Structure 1
Amino acid sequence: MNASRTPRGTPRADAARSHLWGHFTRQSAWDDGVPTIVRGEGHHIWDDTGRKYIDGLSGLFVVQVGHGRAELAERARQQAAELAFFPLWSYAHPQAIDLAERLAGHAPGDLNRVFFTTSGSEAVETAWKLAKQYWKLMGRPGKHKVISRSIAYHGTTHGALSITGLPSLKEAFEPLVPGAHKVPNTNQYRAPESLRDDPKAFGRWAADRIAEAIEFEGPESVAAVFLEPVQNAGGCFPPPPGYFERVREICDQYDVLLVSDEVICAFGRIGDIFACNTLGYVPDMITCAKGMTSGYSPIGALIASDRLFEPFATGATSFAHGYTFGGHPVSAAVAMANLDIFEREKTTDHVHANAPTFRATLERLLDLPIVGDVRGEGFFYGIELVKDKTTRETFDDAESERLLRGFLSGALFDAGLYCRADDRGDPVIQLAPPLTCGPAEFDEIEQILRGVLSEAWSRL
Structure 2
Amino acid sequence: MTALEDRSTAADDPPMSAAAQAAGKHLWMHFARMHGRDGANPIPVITRGEGMNLWDDRGHRVLDGLAGLFVVQAGHGRRELAEVAAKQASELAYFPVWGYTTPPAAELAERLAHLAPGDLNRVFFTSGGGEAVESAWKVAKQYFKLRGKPAKHKVISRMTAYHGTPHGALAITGLPAMKQDFEPLAPGGFRVPNTNLYRHPEFGGDAEALGRWAADRVEEAILFEGPGTVAAVVVEPVQNSGGCLTAPASYFARLREICDRHDVLLVSDEVINAFGRHGHAFACTKFGFTPDIVTCAKGMTSGYGPLGAMIASEKVIEPFLEPGVTFPHGYTWGGHPVSAAVALANLDLMEREDLYGNVLAHEQAFGDTLRRLLDLPIVGDVRGDGYFWAIELVKDKDTRETFDAAERERLVKQYLPGALFGNGLYCRPDDRGDVVVQLAPPLIAGQAEFDEMEQILRHTLTEAQAVV
Match of 1:230 in 2: 238
Amino acid in the other structure paired with 2:362: N
Amino acid in the other structure paired with 1:257: L
Give TM-score, length-normalised by structure 1.
0.98
Retained in 1: the 8 A contact 2:198–2:205?
A: no
Q: Quote how far apart the aligned CAs of 1:389 are.
A: 1.0
Match of 1:92 in 2: 101
After TM superposition, list the pairs within 5 Å mapping 1:6-155 onto structure 2. Answer: 10-28=17-35, 30-31=37-38, 32-155=41-164
Q: 1:99 to 1:221 in 2, by over 3 A?
A: same
Retained in 2: the 8 A contact 1:5–1:34?
A: no
Any idea what the Cα deviations from partners look like across 1:307-335, whole Å, max 9, x if unmatched? 11111123110111111110000000000
Which secondary structure does the structure 1 equivalent of 2:216 belong to?
Answer: helix
Whole-angstrom CA distance in 1 between matches of 2:13 and 2:130: 31
Amino acid in the other structure paired with 2:52: H
- Would you say 1:374 and 2:382 are equivalent positions? yes
Whole-angstrom CA distance in 1 between matches of 2:448 and 2:317: 46
> Identity over aligned residues, as a percent?
64
Please point out which of 447, 450, 455 is paired with 2:463.
455
Retained in 1: the 8 A contact 2:207–2:247?
A: no
Whole-angstrom CA distance in 2 between matches of 1:150 and 1:228: 12
Q: Quote how far apart the aligned CAs of 1:398 are.
A: 0.7
After TM superposition, list the pairs within 5 Å mapping 1:255-334 onto structure 2. Answer: 255-334=263-342
Q: 1:370 to 1:104 in 2, by over 3 A?
A: same
Retained in 1: the 8 A contact 2:73–2:444?
A: yes
Which secondary structure does the structure 2 equivalent of 1:130 belong to?
Answer: helix
Amino acid in the other structure paired with 2:330: G
- Would you say 1:407 and 2:415 are equivalent positions? yes
Q: 1:257 to 1:456 in 2, by over 3 A?
A: same
Which secondary structure does the structure 2 equivalent of 1:403 belong to?
Answer: helix
Which secondary structure does the structure 1 equivalent of 2:380 belong to?
Answer: strand
Match of 2:183 in 1: 174
Whole-angstrom CA distance in 1 between matches of 2:219 and 2:12: 49
How many aligned residue pairs are there? 459
Amino acid in the other structure paired with 1:190: R
Retained in 2: the 8 A contact 1:4–1:413?
A: no
Whole-angstrom CA distance in 1 between matches of 2:64 and 2:330: 34
Q: Quote how far apart the aligned CAs of 1:257 are.
A: 0.3
Whole-angstrom CA distance in 1 between matches of 2:373 and 2:158: 28
Please point out which of 375, 383, 387 is paired with 2:395.
387
- Would you say 1:252 and 2:260 are equivalent positions? yes
Retained in 2: the 8 A contact 1:270–1:351?
A: yes
Alignment root-mean-square deviation, CA: 1.5
Amino acid in the other structure paired with 1:229: P
Q: Quote how far apart the aligned CAs of 1:194 are.
A: 2.4
Which secondary structure does the structure 2 equivalent of 1:188 belong to?
Answer: coil
Any idea what the Cα deviations from partners look like across 1:380-439, whole Å, max 9, x if unmatched? 000000011111011011101111122111111100000001010111000000000001
Whole-angstrom CA distance in 2 between matches of 1:390 and 1:18: 46
Whole-angstrom CA distance in 2 between matches of 1:29 and 1:355: 40
Whole-angstrom CA distance in 2 between matches of 1:52 and 1:197: 39
Amino acid in the other structure paired with 2:394: V
Whole-angstrom CA distance in 2 between matches of 1:457 and 1:307: 53
Whole-angstrom CA distance in 2 between matches of 1:4 and 1:334: 41
Whole-angstrom CA distance in 2 between matches of 1:7 and 1:142: 62
Whole-angstrom CA distance in 2 between matches of 1:63 and 1:73: 13
Retained in 2: the 8 A contact 1:6–1:36?
A: no
Any idea what the Cα deviations from partners look like across 1:166-216, whole Å, max 9, x if unmatched? 11110110000000000011100001x321322111100011110010011
Any idea what the Cα deviations from partners look like across 1:277-316, whole Å, max 9, x if unmatched? 1111000000000000000000000000001111112311
- Structure 2 stretches lacking a partner, 5+ long: 1-7
Retained in 1: the 8 A contact 2:237–2:246?
A: yes
Q: Quote how far apart the aligned CAs of 1:270 are.
A: 1.1
Any idea what the Cα deviations from partners look like across 1:353-387, whole Å, max 9, x if unmatched? 01000010001111111000000100000000001
Whole-angstrom CA distance in 2 between matches of 1:301 and 1:9: 39
Whole-angstrom CA distance in 2 between matches of 1:178 and 1:88: 30
Amino acid in the other structure paired with 1:78: K
Q: Quote how far apart the aligned CAs of 1:342 are.
A: 1.1
Whole-angstrom CA distance in 1 between matches of 2:12 and 2:309: 36
- Would you say 1:424 and 2:432 are equivalent positions? yes
Retained in 2: the 8 A contact 1:382–1:429?
A: yes
Any idea what the Cα deviations from partners look like across 1:120-177, whole Å, max 9, x if unmatched? 0000000000000000000000000000001000000000000001111101100000
Amino acid in the other structure paired with 2:72: V
Q: 1:6 to 1:209 in 2, by over 3 A?
A: farther
Whole-angstrom CA distance in 1 between matches of 2:26 and 2:198: 43
Displacement over 2 Å in runs of 4+:
1-14
Whole-angstrom CA distance in 2 between matches of 1:317 and 1:106: 28
Whole-angstrom CA distance in 2 between matches of 1:19 and 1:6: 23
Query: For structure 1, which segment, 282-291 or 239-248, has the greater mean C-alpha deviation from structure 2 after superposition?
Result: 239-248
Retained in 2: the 8 A contact 1:4–1:47?
A: no
Whole-angstrom CA distance in 2 between matches of 1:22 and 1:7: 23
Which secondary structure does the structure 2 equivalent of 1:189 belong to?
Answer: coil
Q: Quote how far apart the aligned CAs of 1:4 are.
A: 11
Q: 1:5 to 1:327 in 2, by over 3 A?
A: farther
